[in-house]
Amino acid sequence: MGRVEKSVDGRYADRVIDIDLIMAGDLVIDTQELTLPHPRFHQRDFVLRPLCEIAPDQVHPLLGKSIRQLFEELGRGSQ
């Protein structure tokens, strides 16, 4: 259910369904169809904040840092 058309300004149009997979344990996938972990989730407060509440000790499989560490680092960078 990916994006098929671009809008007038050249940006992608909305999808019928848009589900972002963030992580799946320590699984790493990098294909045209799927990238896990999500390549930018560690830069997004709206992802890290709730993830830190439910899985603070989960380790990012590529960065080797816990969700708590990533959240704390993001907070320092945004001040």
- pLDDT band with cut points at 50, 70 and 90 for residue 68: very high
Residues with a known catalytic role = 3, 15, 18, 20
Q: Does pLDDT of 66 surpass 90?
A: yes
Ranges of each domain in the chain: 40-77
pLDDT, one tens digit per residue, over 17-31 is 778 899 999 999 999
**How many C-beta atoms lie closer than 10 Å to residue 44's C-beta?**
14
For 9, 22, 48, 53, 63, the CA distances from 19, given in Å and listed in that order, are 24, 9, 16, 21, 23
Across all residues in the chain, what is the average pLDDT?
86
